[in-house]
Amino acid sequence: MEIAPVNTESAYRAALAEVSALVDADPKLGTAEADRLDVLVTLVQAYEAKHHAIDPPDPIEAIKFRMEQQGLSIKDLEQIIGKSNRVYEVLNRKRSLTLAMIRRLHEQLGIPAHVLIAEGL
């Protein structure tokens, strides 16, 4: 199995094309094709992490997104953030999240804590 490094954009695109073809072929585990797919995916992921990294979302946008996903209202956030005026202040960036709010948002809504503690945009 000869595999070239994925260190240029053209090598990345070629590796993606080969990964796509191998996924479509659905090779059985333990075969040379499955091993090749595993190695190529690892190389593609490493290249993407270095050259196509995605920044974490803004904390407030993450909260709004989760609200939309779960159909939550301001009233639903009161048990997590505080009275409705406090929820509005947080969502309008007039008040920062406290450590207690971050913990509750993480525990109750499943928003990753590292997203919530990031600096707002």
Q: What is the CATH number of the domain that holds 109?
A: 1.10.260.40
Cβ atoms 39, 3 nearer than 8 A: yes
* Residue whose token pair is 């290249």: 47
Q: What is the pLDDT of residue 121?
A: 45
Per-residue pLDDT of 68-87, as tens digits, reads 999 999 999 999 999 999 99
Chain segment 15-64, per-residue pLDDT in tens: 999 999 999 999 999 999 999 999 999 999 999 999 988 888 899 999 99
Average pLDDT, stretch 105-110?
96
State whether 44 and 77 are in the same domain. Answer: no
Domain count, the chain: 2
Residues 112 and 64 in one domain: yes
- Quote the tokens at residue 45: 């992921």
Q: Would residue 37 count as lying in a domain?
A: yes
Q: Which residues form the domain of 17?
A: 9-51
- 120 SS3 class: coil
Domain match, 69 and 41 both: no
Contacts 24+ apart (CB under 8 A), 95-104: 97/59, 104/79, 104/80
Q: What is the pTM of this model?
A: 0.60
Q: What is the mean pLDDT of the chain?
A: 93
| Same domain, residue pair 106 and 86 | yes
